[in-house]
Structure 1
Amino acid sequence: MGPKSLAFRLFVSAAAWVLVVIPIAAILLTSLYRQSIERNFDARLNVYMTSLIAASTAAGGDTPESPDSLGAPIFDIPFSGWYWQIKALDGGEERPLFVSGSLLDQQLDLPSKDDVPADETLTRRSYVTGPDDENLRIEEREIRPGHEGDTVYSYAVGGNAAEIDDDLAQFTTMLVLALVILGVGLTVATFFQVRFGLLPLRAIRHDLAAIRSGDAEKLEGELPDEIKPLQTELNALIQSNRDVVERARTHVGNLAHALKTPLSVISNEARSHDGPLSGKVIEQAELMRTQITHHLDRARVAARSGVIGGVTEVEPTLMALKRALDRIYGEKGISLTVSIDPGLKFQGEKQDFEEMAGNLIDNACKWAKTSVTVTARRLGDDTLSVMVDDDGPGLTRAEREKAVKRGQRLDESKPGSGLGLSIVADLAHLYKGHFVLEDARDGGLSARLTLPAA
């Protein structure tokens, strides 16, 4: 799965989205949780504030009295982190009245009204530094116990904000762990989701390979609505390819008939007359016939090589050629031996394989003294070789190069047009294969054909 892969792009984009959303979610959840625990903490402070006001004004006078207890011993432990104090506000001057036992002789340093304005309940809440340098959450409220114009008193209750921080830290740790697990889970799920979502494309690839190998004729099966049009268009393209090839075959056959018939008439007319001119006409007509045969064969082969899905069983094809050539060359004492790997298949048209193998075996039988050996082997997952060895006189390097050229005949006494080996070379090239002539191991000539395997 490389950078150009569709699966890679989908996976990376989804993973990137997860990496962006999860940190934002972590920040948002942490902020919401902090607000929640601050509200709970403030509720505790408010309870203590209510108790403090009630205890200091229980006598009903205009001046607060020192409360005996708020029902919480923590306010009596020195520098416990929980404090309260009461101040009198006389014309802008602050006069301390009472403080909790936990403050000893210290006072809470409260922010000014300008820095922290009161809310709708006339309560101010803020964070300040305590007498032991701890961070305190403070709730302050101003009340007037007596009548209008009497002294205003400031009541303040504070608690150690480390409780908030500790609670938030524990929550953050658990949240980060949970979100990491969630992120990893989402990333893994995204990976499998992308793989699952692209399965129909893999199915199309598999079906196209089956068509290419000849195991199927068209794309079949139920596909998602988004990919269904692709299946339809590919099937139309495959059928169009077959139609084009069929028309090409028909045109090649018609052209062969249209050209060969006038040439036959010319040759027959020339043979009915004596003289050097008629001989020249016959010679040139035969040359034209050879050229036409060669180029029409190449055109026919080129048309067939574009067919999608052609597959040929090697063993039955070679055995059929062996039976046919045994009848021709058996009486001449030529022993034809065939060895084939089981299940071997050629990725191409049967007629082309018959023409290549038939030309090689026929040529070997013409030149062999006593035996011809045909060996067909699989070279790899997608390659096969056909080797035809004879015990004839063999060829020199120059003769081997000449033998594969169009229309070249090394011995005019042997029948044929001289096109056989050149057609084999052309066919092998069109199928992206190779054809070479070498010296056989036991003398004679070895023709080796390498072709695509199915």
Structure 2
Amino acid sequence: MKRQGYSLRFRLLQSAALTLILFLGLTGIVLDQAFRQSAWQNVESTLTAQVYGLIAVADQQGELLYLPEAVQEPGFNRLGSGLFGLLLDSQGRELWRSQSAVVIDYSRLVDEIESATLGEPVFTHSKVPDVFVLSYKVLWQLGPQQSSEYTFVVLRNPDAYEDEVTSFRGSLWFWLAVVVIGLTVVQWLVMRWGLSPLSRLADELRSLESREGSLLTGDYPTEIEGVTRNLNLLITAERAQREKYRTTLADLAHSLKTPLSILSNTTTRLSDQQEETAQLITDQVHRMNDLVSYQLERAVTSASQIARQAVPVSACAKRLEQALSKVYQAEQVDLSMVVGDETFYGDERDLMELLGNLLDNACKYGNGTVRLTVFGGEALLLIVEDDGPGIPKERHGLIMERGTRLDSDTPGQGIGLAVVSEIVARYGGDVAIDDAELGGAKFTVTLPL
């Protein structure tokens, strides 16, 4: 199945954007984790320094340690500061708490506090309650022969830490998004510049349709030079072949003129009894002359040069009915036509060729019944049906190709339907093949008005 058209620039831009998003996304995750770890270590360092500050102001009174009610760190002296200090003896009994910790209940932090090892700070984050805990167990020398263990504990509310991490994360992802958008725009501009030779090549190819004898002459990058060179060879070969066709058709037309003239002159000398035969031969000679001229014009005329005239469909259908009734007189074909005052806008010879091929095929391959129906309106619909064996659905596309035939027993070259397809395409129309109510094939030609 043929793919729908797609943009190379869009594919490249999409790939670059996805790569940027993936790379910067991973970078953002790494930076976020690094900042979170750094902030964690900063909290640990701060609480360690504050523990050392408490140890520095601790004083011995008898066999116990003493800490002043107010210490140097302001957070310990203010309610609601989120910073709390505790001093516990070796039995876990409280000896001192900071003014900020007057109402704090640390009973659920016993495991965190008791996890401290002698001479080494232990930093943890308790989820219930949500608080940072740093406990530091020391061995205090009370006398020459006496020492005791004490645990200094500092607690800190994690709100400031979470706010800092959240703020950094928001800024990080915002600026990474800005970078992605900015780099995507830059990539688009770079790709537009880099792919501009392809756009120029497409424009030059389109311009060749209206410039006979010209070739691709633009200055293109090395990567495209091979393509342009081969295209020029193809264009040259195609024009040579088209010129050969024109010459051959012109020679054919010239060769036919003499025998046609002889036939035309001979009919004028026939007797009155043979007047009907003479008229028939004269009509067909004129028809042959018209066909030669028509085919010559088709060989050199593009769709944009079609002479569009109002042609009554009924008149053309009547002429074809008379001609086909004589051709298939022996087969006794029942050719019915449902034609009103519909009008075809174009070359009358195109309509004759189109309908003639469709009706001739229907008469040739049908079993004796052929019907032509014409509808007008927003588009002109020409429907030709027969009662023959029909056309298999898998052969619908193939049958319209030049040289293709389904019935090798019936005389023909497989050109008629290809001519129909070419004419319809020149007018921007469409040909549909279906099963007819009569039992055979149904051809529906839609021509825009």
TM bin (shorter chain) = 0.5 to 0.7
How far the C-alpha of 1:25 sits from its partner, in A, is 4.7
Task: Show the counterpart of 2:232.
Answer: 235
Secondary structure of 2:111's aligned partner:
coil
d(CA) in 1 for partners of 2:113, 2:88 = 18
Amino acid at match of 1:220: T
Amino acid at match of 1:36: S
Question: Which structure 2 residues correspond to residues 22-421 of structure 1 after superposition, within 5 A?
Answer: 25-56=27-58, 65-68=65-68, 70-89=71-90, 93-104=91-102, 108-109=106-107, 110=109, 112=111, 122-128=120-126, 135-146=130-141, 151-189=148-186, 191-193=188-190, 195-214=192-211, 217-225=214-222, 227-256=224-253, 263=259, 293-305=289-301, 347=304
Residues 229 and 426 (structure 1 numbering): CA distance in 2 closer, same or farther, change over 3 Å?
Answer: farther
Amino acid at match of 1:175: L
How far the C-alpha of 1:149 sits from its partner, in A, is 11
Count how many residue pairs are aligned between Structure 1 and Structure 2. 325
Residues 127 and 62 (structure 1 numbering): CA distance in 2 closer, same or farther, change over 3 Å?
Answer: farther
How far the C-alpha of 1:168 sits from its partner, in A, is 2.4
d(CA) in 2 for partners of 1:5, 1:148 = 89
How far the C-alpha of 1:233 sits from its partner, in A, is 3.8
Residues 211 and 63 (structure 1 numbering): CA distance in 2 closer, same or farther, change over 3 Å?
Answer: farther
Q: Bigger radius of gyration, 1 or 2? A: 1
How far the C-alpha of 1:242 sits from its partner, in A, is 0.5
How far the C-alpha of 1:179 sits from its partner, in A, is 3.6
> For 1:341-381, what per-residue CA distance to the aligned partner results, in whole angstroms no more than 9, with x for missing partners?
xxxxx955xxxx9xx8xxxxxxxxxxxxxxxxxxxxxxxxx
Residues 81 and 294 (structure 1 numbering): CA distance in 2 closer, same or farther, change over 3 Å?
Answer: same
Secondary structure of 2:65's aligned partner:
coil
Larger RCO of the pair (alpha carbons < 8 Å, separation 6+)? 1
How far the C-alpha of 1:74 sits from its partner, in A, is 2.4
Residues 162 and 208 (structure 1 numbering): CA distance in 2 closer, same or farther, change over 3 Å?
Answer: same
How far the C-alpha of 1:427 sits from its partner, in A, is 11
How far the C-alpha of 1:217 sits from its partner, in A, is 1.9
d(CA) in 2 for partners of 1:63, 1:215 = 113
d(CA) in 1 for partners of 2:114, 2:217 = 76
d(CA) in 2 for partners of 1:122, 1:62 = 26
d(CA) in 2 for partners of 1:196, 1:63 = 84
d(CA) in 1 for partners of 2:261, 2:352 = 30
How far the C-alpha of 1:82 sits from its partner, in A, is 1.6
d(CA) in 2 for partners of 1:210, 1:33 = 59
Percentage identity across paired residues of the two chains: 20
d(CA) in 2 for partners of 1:229, 1:242 = 20
Secondary structure of 1:98's aligned partner:
strand
Partners of 1:139 and 1:157 within 8 A in 2: yes
Partners of 1:127 and 1:138 within 8 A in 2: yes
Amino acid at match of 1:153: Y
Secondary structure of 1:185's aligned partner:
helix
Between 1:189-198 and 1:35-44, the stretch displaced more is: 189-198
d(CA) in 2 for partners of 1:300, 1:62 = 127
> For 1:102-145, what per-residue CA distance to the aligned partner results, in whole angstroms no more than 9, with x for missing partners?
323756443536997879x8332112379xx7x43222222334
Amino acid at match of 2:216: L
Amino acid at match of 1:104: V
Partners of 1:266 and 1:285 within 8 A in 2: no
Task: Show the counterpart of 1:333.
Answer: none
d(CA) in 1 for partners of 2:289, 2:27 = 77
How far the C-alpha of 1:75 sits from its partner, in A, is 1.4
> For 1:135-178, what per-residue CA distance to the aligned partner results, in whole angstroms no more than 9, with x for missing partners?
43222222334599964332222233222122223323433443
How far the C-alpha of 1:211 sits from its partner, in A, is 0.9
- Runs of 5+ unmatched residues, structure 1: 307-345, 357-384, 388-394, 407-420, 435-454
Task: Show the counterpart of 1:368.
Answer: none
> For 1:167-208, what per-residue CA distance to the aligned partner results, in whole angstroms no more than 9, with x for missing partners?
223323433443443344345445545554543333233212
How far the C-alpha of 1:221 sits from its partner, in A, is 2.0
Secondary structure of 1:219's aligned partner:
coil
d(CA) in 2 for partners of 1:157, 1:16 = 47
How far the C-alpha of 1:293 sits from its partner, in A, is 4.5
Secondary structure of 1:220's aligned partner:
coil
Residues 291 and 427 (structure 1 numbering): CA distance in 2 closer, same or farther, change over 3 Å?
Answer: closer
Partners of 1:298 and 1:426 within 8 A in 2: no
Residues 153 and 287 (structure 1 numbering): CA distance in 2 closer, same or farther, change over 3 Å?
Answer: same
Secondary structure of 1:144's aligned partner:
strand
> For 1:7-62, what per-residue CA distance to the aligned partner results, in whole angstroms no more than 9, with x for missing partners?
55555555556666666554443332222222222222121222223333x77x99
- Runs of 5+ unmatched residues, structure 2: 324-346, 355-421, 429-449
Residues 402 and 265 (structure 1 numbering): CA distance in 2 closer, same or farther, change over 3 Å?
Answer: closer
TM-score (norm 1): 0.53
How far the C-alpha of 1:245 sits from its partner, in A, is 0.4
